[in-house]
Amino acid sequence: MALTTSSALTLSAAPDAWRATSACRDTDPDLFFPIGTTGPAIEQIESAKAVCNTCDVKDMCLDFALTTNQDSGIWGGTSEEERRKIRRQWLAARRRAS
């Protein structure tokens, strides 16, 4: 997963500008930070991802999470575990590109 040019430009020009149009902007932030990985937390994760799946800036959110190493919560439609896997691949691609 690489940072796209358009989202990289957006992030560098105005790091938080994408948040103003995010689908989650009026949602309780607690939804995106479930406690645990079983039972009710699984339902909460799925609910948070459902919000993300309606979002026009989902990719920018994920890019932000990868760039700033957000290790908690749901970002860009990804769970903590999913993001750890993506981040390893993302970092490897960045190293190869350097």
pLDDT digits (tens, 9 = 90+) for 24-51: 999 999 999 999 989 999 999 999 999 9
pLDDT, residue 22, reads 96
Sequence-separated (6 or more) residues with CB below 8 Å from residue 41: 34, 35
**pLDDT over 50 at 10, yes or no:** no
Distance of CA 90 to the CA centre of its chain: 13
Burial status of residue 10 (CB atoms within 10 A of its CB: 0-12, 13-18, 19 or more): middle
Place of tokens 């390893």: 88
Place of tokens 């690489």: 2
Question: Residue ranges per domain, the chain?
Answer: 5-97
